[in-house]
Structure 1
Amino acid sequence: MNIRRWSVGVLAAALFVPGVAACASAEDAEPAADGKSAAPAVPADPKEALLASTKEISKGNFAFTMGGGELTGSGKVHAPSKSAEMKMAADGGSDGISMDMHLVFIDTESWVKLEFTGPMADAVPGAKAMKGKYQHVDRTKAQDIEDLKFDLADVDPAGSEALVKSVTEVRKTGEGAYAGTLDATKTTGSDLLDATTVTGLADKASAVPFTAKLDAQGRLVEFAVQLPAFGDSKAQNVTVTYADYGAVTAVQQPPADQVVEASDQVYEMFKS
């Protein structure tokens, strides 16, 4: 699941403007035999505690939200039903184009709903035809478009494990709270800090500040990166949080009367 490609790539392709920045969110507990929440021991070493906190994500049963720059989003992953969804909103400002997107994945099937608003919305190819409709994806046309498929082997929307592995310094700042720096040049596999961002940060990339929060069971519920200003981008926080571990329900298929076959414009947007 690639947050930045969905948000930045699709929006930029549709609007023909520079991309935005991204981020995400989620939390919960496993019952013990006596019906009470089991709270495994959290490693005393801060780095080990953060690494252990990402393990529950790989089970693929959680909700998340995101926020950063002009982008907000939310969604959930339910591996037992091989389903996932993401809703995102990108604010183009008063002079641009804003976008709302809903992606739905159920096993090998996927649907996407795209709506554009703003003074230039009508300039987006196929915008009027897409409005109010879920575009059902033809797998034969999307074989090479990763963002229109769901990979159960890569369920983390932000690649938090990769972010933690790139941590160079970390300290515990309170109960379940941590802070430190990470080397963004070593975040291979994280969508929260993609290659474009890392390149733009230049020499700042090797020491990017972050904060993290764990729940009482030692599971990651928030990871926030404090990106410094670079190029035309202002300093900002990009944050992913996780919630409802083990407690989400299967994603539902869009209503049949709201579904059409995906237009050629949809495939072109996601190819960018």
Structure 2
Amino acid sequence: MTRGAVGGIAAGVLLLLGCSVGASSGDEPPTLPRASVDAGATLEAVDLLRSGTKFIDETSFRVDTDIGGIVTIRSYADNVKRRAATKMSVSGRVIEIRMIENAIYMKTNVDLPGVGKEWMSLDPARVPSDFALSFAPGKNDPGGSARLIDAIVTARIEGSQVAGMLDVTRMRPGNGINFQPNPGETFPDTVRSQPFRATLDAEGRLVSFVIPEADGLPAASLGYADFGKAVEVVRPQGAVPAPAALYPQLGLGG
């Protein structure tokens, strides 16, 4: 990953729960072999993965996101009881978010113009749509697994795993893993066939989704665990209303 990409993380883009990182420039690693998979096998594999994410609406869970070993995100979510907590770290910069029903709280040590370091209470009506904080079905996975599954172009079932290729350019902005080209650059065509491997547990739940480093993009992964474990989220004492200066710096537009 280039230094410029890391610098971009520290800006407003950092505040999207799914932090974006750029493709590196310079020598590219060899691309992995592209397997030939028929449409029927891909459809079957994608359906299996979608079925493996039903737990998101049904029980509590933890999800860990790692992008290039630089961005790490740990989230606990209970969409039934409408509780969630997320802590994201990028090179020593930390953002914490807590959600209780319709209340959203945030604290960060990132130097943002006009924004303090204390706990803040956000106005949901002023949060940009691409900040993606919600308990609504389809928007309530801090790992953003549906965005990855939607970007799959070929896949095959291999026992308890699904392997194949996804098209990075088809990944919508949102929670979890995001890739962006470096400023002034575009993605190479090879990112339209980025390898991935997903694993399901004995209950058929998605427990990992791994994108290895390839074609100039860093490695990235999701890991789901702690199914059904109680999620305790404490309302922070002394939270102040978030200043108006915060909202334009949230999301991919920040």
TM-score, length basis structure 2: 0.71
Match of 1:85 in 2: 85
Match of 2:119 in 1: 134
Match of 1:239 in 2: 221
Structure 2 unmatched ranges of 5 or more: 1-5, 23-43
Structure 1 distance, partners of 2:20, 2:51, is 31
Amino acid at match of 1:249: V
Deviation of 1:139 (Å): 4.4
Counterpart check, 1:252 vs 2:234: yes
Amino acid at match of 1:184: V
Structure 2 distance, partners of 1:150, 1:176, is 30
Counterpart check, 1:63 vs 2:62: yes
Q: How does 1:171-210 map to 2 (within 5 A)?
A: 171-173=156-158, 175-188=159-172, 191-192=175-176, 194=178, 196-197=180-181, 200-210=186-196
Rate the CA distance shift 1:229–1:149 in 2: closer, same or farther, 3 A: same
Match of 2:21 in 1: 21
CA RMSD of aligned residues (A): 3.3
Amino acid at match of 2:163: A
Match of 1:35 in 2: none
Query: Would you say the 8 A contact 1:137–1:262 is kept in 2?
Result: yes
Query: Would you say the 8 A contact 1:63–1:248 is kept in 2?
Result: no
Rate the CA distance shift 1:147–1:168 in 2: closer, same or farther, 3 A: closer
TM-score, length basis structure 1: 0.67
Structure 1 distance, partners of 2:228, 2:7, is 30
Counterpart check, 1:166 vs 2:151: yes
Deviation of 1:216 (Å): 0.8
Amino acid at match of 1:76: Y
Query: Would you say the 8 A contact 1:135–1:260 is kept in 2?
Result: yes
Amino acid at match of 2:57: S
Rate the CA distance shift 1:267–1:168 in 2: closer, same or farther, 3 A: closer
Which of 245, 248, 251 lines up with 1:268 in the alignment? Answer: 248
Query: Would you say the 8 A contact 1:158–1:190 is kept in 2?
Result: no
Structure 2 distance, partners of 1:82, 1:8, is 34
Rate the CA distance shift 1:178–1:62 in 2: closer, same or farther, 3 A: same
Structure 2 distance, partners of 1:143, 1:125, is 17
How many residue pairs end up in the alignment?
218
Amino acid at match of 1:221: V
Query: Would you say the 8 A contact 2:82–2:100 is kept in 1?
Result: yes
Match of 1:50 in 2: 49
Structure 1 distance, partners of 2:71, 2:153, is 28
Counterpart check, 1:125 vs 2:113: yes
Q: What SS does the corresponding residue of 1:247 show, helix, strand or coil? A: coil
Deviation of 1:51 (Å): 2.8
Rate the CA distance shift 1:60–1:266 in 2: closer, same or farther, 3 A: farther
Structure 2 distance, partners of 1:267, 1:105, is 17
Which of 100, 104, 109 lines up with 1:110 in the alignment? Answer: 104
Rate the CA distance shift 1:148–1:138 in 2: closer, same or farther, 3 A: farther
Rate the CA distance shift 1:49–1:20 in 2: closer, same or farther, 3 A: closer
More helix by share: 1
Q: What SS does the corresponding residue of 2:74 show, helix, strand or coil? A: strand
Identity %: 23
Q: What SS does the corresponding residue of 1:81 show, helix, strand or coil? A: coil
Query: Would you say the 8 A contact 1:88–1:100 is kept in 2?
Result: yes
Q: What SS does the corresponding residue of 1:57 show, helix, strand or coil? A: helix
Query: Would you say the 8 A contact 1:209–1:226 is kept in 2?
Result: yes
